[in-house]
Structure 1
Amino acid sequence: MQVFLADTIDINDQALRIANWRNLRAAAINFIASTPTLPLPGRGNTLDRWRALSAIGGQDLALVKVLEAHFDAQAILADLDAAAMATGELWAVWAAEPPGVVLDFTATTETSGLLSGTKAWCSGAQIASHALLTATAGGRQVLCRAVVDLEYMDYDTSRWQAVGMSRISSGTLMLRGARASLVGPPGAYLDRPGFWHGGAGIAACWFGATTAIAGRLREDRRVKSNPHVAAHLGAIDIALSAVAALFRETAALIDAQPRQAHRHEIVRLRALMDRVASDVIERVGRALGAGPLCTEHDHAQRCADLMVFLRQAHAESDEQRLGEALFDGETRTWRL
């Protein structure tokens, strides 16, 4: 008996990773060259911004993760009246602060200094030219801008074993006196309303990928011959229509009241999108079986990528906050 073995690809192969990083960076730079900016949140065209992110997310989740961070950095700089990025640059935003992981900023002048310590969950450090990073100075959080200079930084991706989002590692960055400058006063990164507005942009990326996954079911002929398949598609239509309406409502609210954070509304939107996306992945799989996940690379990769990307949501923790806010009377809802 002759056995034909499929070619195997080790996701830990460094040569493959480097090729993926180069391709991803080239795609991001090409997109930015053709679309240097997106509408800023809270300036009247928030929905257009989210539609653009959704469209990219429907094509490539790794690419939209890179681009969403770049355009988020653009919005942050605008919010804090900081100098804009230059043409040809690719920016990242690294603001995760897990317990026990500390990055210190030591001032050398009134507005500049050195960064030393560790920064976790630095997505795309191998392809970004610049970054906004949160750090600690005098016991307070500060936001810094820095050139990604690997002479003063070590990037460790050895723990990144994800199959989903494998093309964009989120590793740990160790900084050794990297030069940086302050952006805004201490605490400004979290205090600005745009912090929450930007969080909804992530959900727009999820929406685009979710509709692409749902589209695989929508075009399948079994919808006409199998009532269970049709029922799954109908349930998906209900869920996606509901979350799309909430996107439109939330965007209008942000544009009408841009100086408000709208935290409750945005947490609710993200939580709903998380549940809808998870449900769509499950329903498409139940309707079509293992076939598309095993034989259609783009669909299988999109499902795997989205399952990882969705975990930027805070799941039941967000739902807990929503419930507590309602009980305490902090917000009013459920009105037509």
Structure 2
Amino acid sequence: MACAQLTRLNDLLRDFSQRGIDHRGLDVPRQMQLLLTAGLADLPHPGHGATLLRWQMLAQVAAADLALVKLYEAHADALSILHELGVEPKQVEGLWAVWAAEPPYAQVVITSRRQNQVTLTGRKAWCSGAAHVDHAVMTVKNERDQPALVILEIKQPGVTVTTEGWQAVGMAAADSVEVIVEGAQATCIDETSLYIKRPGFWHGAAGIAACWIGAGLELARIVHRQAKRDPHSLAHLGAIESALGAAKIEMQVCARWVDAHPQEDAEFHARRLRATVETAMEAVMHHAGRALGATPYCRDPHFARLMADLPVFLRQSHAERDLERLGQLSLDRPQESWDL
């Protein structure tokens, strides 16, 4: 079953490529709808025995287009969050997103309520796919300035999708803009810190690394096809092989751990996976560019988009801040955990 699902997904993505992926990403929303229609956006939930399959599917889509996987991963994450919280919303069809960024300059608050139906006002930043999604699982603040989680239907009066908040060339097709809500209606599904304290929060964070590695694997395939057989090109390919090998092993180990410990705190394992994959992807990009030179940057739209998108996507990591936290977590673990 797993192989069949991966094969179907790969066939559809290959069809996208044969039709011609627009290098500006104009086809991303349409491709996402085709994935939904084909039933290929219904991924296994993490921690249910098929976590690696879930991450393999994310990686496949990422290899095709990182802007596409941004929508794809968010949709899958939203459905897994609702499943984990035991919520069965009426409006399950359509495209979902998760909007959980809360910078100081962009907050959404509950202004009134009637049971679990609430009214929202404010501005939400980093809303990926806002112009294309139907529903969002969104973090807000309640009347006591405490965290809450709501389901927001996007296509309603009181919700304005702006064109503000995104200037980057990389990941431009993901449309991570700001959304303004003025008296919009939503369904409140939690008023605790459960969103970040539930086990699935770190399962989802680890899934982002699957998107990163999918792009790196595709860059490696391009180098494998195009690199010259001179010593320098082969050395760069060898460095890419080394980096990817470490990242793939760490991903397999993490997936097995999540499936074996679905209710345990996965922060350490997710952070270690993300750090390993981030380091590997930086090495892959470095060596891919040096192996192939300027030509694919300028004449290969797929390569050029990956090399523009991946650095932006990787910055979903918080660099040294994440490494500091990983070091703190490592201090609390027995040294024997490093034994072979």
TM-score (norm 1): 0.89
In the TM superposition, residue 98 of structure 1 has moved relative to its aligned partner by 1.2
The answer on whether the counterparts of 1:104 and 1:135 sit within 8 Å (CA) in structure 2 is yes
* Secondary structure in structure 1 of the residue aligned to 2:287: helix
The question of whether the paired residues in 2 share the 8 Å contact of 1:142 and 1:187 is answered with yes
Residues 81-114 of structure 1: CA deviation (Å, up to 9, x unaligned):
0015656400111000112422102342221111
Secondary structure of the equivalent of 2:109? strand
SS at match of 1:183: strand
Provide the secondary structure at the position in 1 that maps to 2:148. strand
Please tell me the residue identity of whatever aligns with 1:194.
G
Alignment of 1:55-134 (within 5 A): 55-84=60-89, 86=91, 88-134=93-139
Which one-letter code corresponds to 2:248 in the other structure? A
Matched with 2:283 is 279
User: How do residues 174-323 of structure 1 correspond to structure 2 at under 5 angstroms?
Assistant: 174-222=180-228, 224=229, 226-323=230-327
Identity %: 39
The answer to whether the aligner puts 1:171 opposite 2:177 as a matched pair is yes
Distance in 2, matches of 1:319 and 1:65, equals 24
CA RMSD of aligned residues (A): 1.9
Indicate the SS of the match to 2:177.
strand
* Aligned-partner Cα distance in 2 for 1:221–1:309: 25
* Inter-partner Cα distance in structure 1 for 2:206 and 2:296: 30
**Residues 290 and 20 from structure 1, CA distance in 2 versus in 1: closer, same or farther, beyond 3 angstroms?**
closer
Distance 1:121 1:151 in 2: 21
Q: Which runs of 4+ in 1 moved over 4 A?
A: 84-88, 328-332
Cα distance in 1 for partners of 2:231, 2:239 equals 12
Say which SS state the counterpart of residue 157 (structure 2) adopts.
coil
Matching residue of 1:37: 42
Q: What is the identity, as a one-letter code, of the residue corresponding to 1:214?
A: A
SS at match of 2:315: helix
- Answering whether residue 167 of structure 2 is matched by residue 148 of structure 1, we say no
Contact persistence 2:164–2:178 (CA under 8 A) = no
Tell me what 1:135 maps to.
140
Relative to 1, partners in 2 of residues 1:159 and 1:262: Cα closer, same or farther, differing over 3 Å?
closer
Give the aligned residue type for 1:311.
R
CA contact (8 A) 1:294 1:300 kept: yes
Structure 2: runs of 5 or more not aligned: 1-21
Structure 1 residues 207-233: Cα deviation after superposition (integer angstroms, max 9, x where no partner): 1111101111111251x2x11110111
| 1:74/1:85 contact within 8 Å kept | no
Q: For residue 149 of structure 1, give the secondary structure of its aligned residue in structure 2.
A: coil
Confirm or deny: 8 A CA contact 1:29 1:88 kept in the other structure: no
Whether the 8 Å CA contact 1:143–1:189 is kept in 2: the answer is yes
Counterpart selection for 1:161 from 167, 190, 202: 167
**Distance of 1:260 and 1:320 partners within structure 2:** 22
Q: How much has 1:265 moved relative to structure 2?
A: 1.0
Which residue does 1:9 correspond to in 2?
none
Change (3 A) 1:44 1:334: same
TM-score for both structures, normalised by structure 2: 0.88
Contact 2:227 2:233 in 1 (8 A): no
Q: What is the Cα deviation at residue 139 of structure 1?
A: 2.2
Partners of 2:125 and 2:165 within 8 A in 1: no
